[in-house]
Structure 1
Amino acid sequence: MTLTPDLTARLAAAGLDAAAVEALARATVAEDLAGGVDVTSVATVPADARGSADFTARVPGVVAGLPVAEAVVEVVCGTDVEIKRFVADGDRVARGQVLFTAVGATRDLLTAERSALNLMCRLSGIATLTRTWVDAVAGTGAAIRDTRKTTPGLRALEKYAVRCGGGVNHRMSLSDAAMVKDNHVVAAGGVAEAFNAVRAAFPDVPVEVEVDRLDQIPPVLDAGADLILLDNMTPFQLREAVALVGGRARLESSGGLTLDTAREVASTGVDYLAVGALTHSAPVLDIGVDLRD
């Protein structure tokens, strides 16, 4: 581990594995250099030049991934860099607002720039989109939840960005909770049969069961499902499901959700709206670097 103790502690406080973040930072920089050097910076910037790089929001949004971007800067610049922070992950930021400033060797700052931005822009885009959904259902009691539709290798960071935007996380992996979907139902011979098979094999694991018809709810409810996913149901059907369950299990609406319909769906009484778009379709937040001598 070569990250500073301060940054390591901040990553841990955010629920992130500092060693994994450092490894990702090194991999992104290695990909950018491809075994060589930053030929443009080496050719145009004196070796002893020092500067300040302001990481600045080009558009309004919600920021996420600041310590991840800092990890990239530390990997490239080593201990010879000073970070000045002006905002925290989860903050709403305005166009033109400086998020943090890195002071160090100019060549190193320019080498780190794109790798740091690639990660922070991606994570901030997820946080910004999540906050939009959270704002859309504010006051209803429903929470916005992510899915496993994440970028391979970036799941922990992307789910962290969802939290920064005010959303909540679904399971992190296939092993920490069960999700009985249509293909499992086919394999097991029925919804209740699939649920009972999971419960028998893994009695301590939370089990969520996907249903797409109201008549499928009573059997899994009686079997003891912790959470029922209501797939592609209309607001009318969702209200019927809420009444049928009567608080005996948590309910999650999924499929076909849009920002335009989010509040109507949330107002039916479901506990969660599952939104895969938070991670698979979020546009990046435009953040740039302004170098000062």
Structure 2
Amino acid sequence: MLRSHIERFLEEDLGEWDDSTSIVPDLNVDAAIISKEDCILAGLEEVSELFEYLDVNSEPLFDDGEYATAGAEVMSIQGSARNILRGERVALNILGRMSGIATLTRECVLRAQKVRVACTRKTTPGFRYFEKKAVLIGGGDTHRFNLSGAVMIKDNHIAIMGLEDAIKEARKRASFTKMIEVEVEDLDTMIRAAELGADIIMFDNMNPEEIKRGVAMLEEMGVRSGVILEASGGINPGNLEAYASTGVDVISMGALTRGARWMDFSMEVRNR
């Protein structure tokens, strides 16, 4: 975690005049962070860096990506009582958010079996790196981090300039190292994208039966092996297995970040 991240997070939480922790005697104390529910842990590395910045000793008792049960002590902490309290809420927020995403991602990865599960750019502004890292810790794929990671031609690109011109312009402007992905909403557009040489075709908001037909059509055309197929839009843990059975290579889910609930953690000071 960058120093600038830590300082921004602390500044947001402490404000301009922290009377809440300044009233506490500056004693050395022992504390622990406790998981209050079963979860896949993520964010322990960031919390350790936060406490290091605050000159507080911390020891993660698990690794990121490990399963913790309710009641488990996941980190021990020793140092200035004031500084521990200054970092408490930021630490718990990071752990709660990242562990929630990692836990949901792990569930989805297990449901999808051999199909890769990826997240999207539906992330919290300023916290994207950590949310996508949590997806990775949970066993998922981070997809592109930003608009520079790959060229994705979406419905609005097509509406503005047409599919053929959009792909031509992408080939001309983008580095040869970047893949070109086309979002399609019907099978006619899928066929045209394949004919124009798209590297990735994403079935957007299409039902599993229609996607299966599309995969079969590409196989009949003899181009299935040359293109990565992705399904996205409206996919959640309840219908994930139906989409995983369509024959696509990747399922991208905004739900991994948008729908993940926070895991509950608490901090307990053990002595004075």
TM-score category (smaller protein): over 0.9
Shift of 1:151: 0.6
The 5-angstrom pairing of residues 84-123 of structure 1 reads 84-123=59-98
Using the size of structure 1 for normalisation, the TM-score is 0.86
In structure 2, do the counterparts of structure 1 residues 26 and 193 end up closer, same or farther at CA, with 3 Å as the change threshold?
A: same
1:195 aligns with 2:175: no
Q: Which one-letter code corresponds to 2:77 in the other structure?
A: A
Tell me the equivalent position of 1:289.
Answer: 267
Q: For each residue in 1:182-235, what CA deviation from the matched residue of structure 2 results, as whole angstroms up to 9, or x when unmatched?
A: 00001112x233222211222522110001111112222122211100011121
CA separation in 1, counterparts of 2:30 and 2:253?
A: 39
After the TM superposition, which residues 134-145 of structure 1 pair with which residues of structure 2 at under 5 Å, given as runs?
134-138=109-113, 141-145=114-118
- Cα distance in 2 for partners of 1:195, 1:291 equals 59
Could you list the per-position Cα deviations for residues 39-69 of structure 1 after superposition, in whole angstroms to 9, with x for gaps in the alignment?
23332x322x211121110011111111111
Does the 8 Å contact 1:29/1:72 carry over to 2? no
Distance in 2 between residues matched to 1:54 and 1:96, nearest whole Å:
11
**Alpha-carbon offset, residue 280 of structure 1:** 2.0
Residues 236 and 255 of structure 2 are in contact (CA less than 8 Å); yes or no, is this contact kept in structure 1? no
8 A contact 2:235–2:255 mirrored in 1? no
SS of residue in 2 equivalent to 1:166: coil
1: CA distance between counterparts of 2:256 and 2:93? Answer: 17
Unaligned runs of 5+ in 2: 219-223
In the TM superposition, residue 25 of structure 1 has moved relative to its aligned partner by 1.3
Residue 8 of structure 2, aligned match among 27, 52, 74? 27
Alignment partner for residue 273 of structure 1, among 232, 251, 258?
251
The number of equivalent residue pairs is 265
- 1:42 alignment partner in structure 2: 22
The residue type paired with residue 66 of structure 1 is L
Give, in angstroms, the shift of residue 34 of structure 1: 1.3
Q: Compute the displacement of 1:279 (Å).
A: 1.3
Q: Tell me the amino acid that sits aligned with residue 146 of structure 1.
A: C
Superposed, 1:146-161 pairs within 5 Å as 146-161=119-134
Deviation string, structure 1 residues 108-136 (Cα, Å, up to 9, x no partner): 11111011111121111111111121121
Matches of 1:188 and 1:290 in 2, distance apart? 58
Q: What is the aligned-residue identity percentage? A: 35
Measured on the aligned residues, the alpha-carbon RMSD in Å equals 1.4
Which residue of structure 1 aligns with residue 237 of structure 2?
A: 259
Q: Distance in 2 between matches of 1:236 and 1:277?
A: 21
Distance in 2, matches of 1:279 and 1:268, equals 23
Please show how residues 120-269 of structure 1 align to structure 2 within 5 Å. 120-138=95-113, 141-189=114-162, 191-204=163-176, 205-245=178-218, 246-269=224-247
CA contact (8 A) 1:26 1:72 kept: no
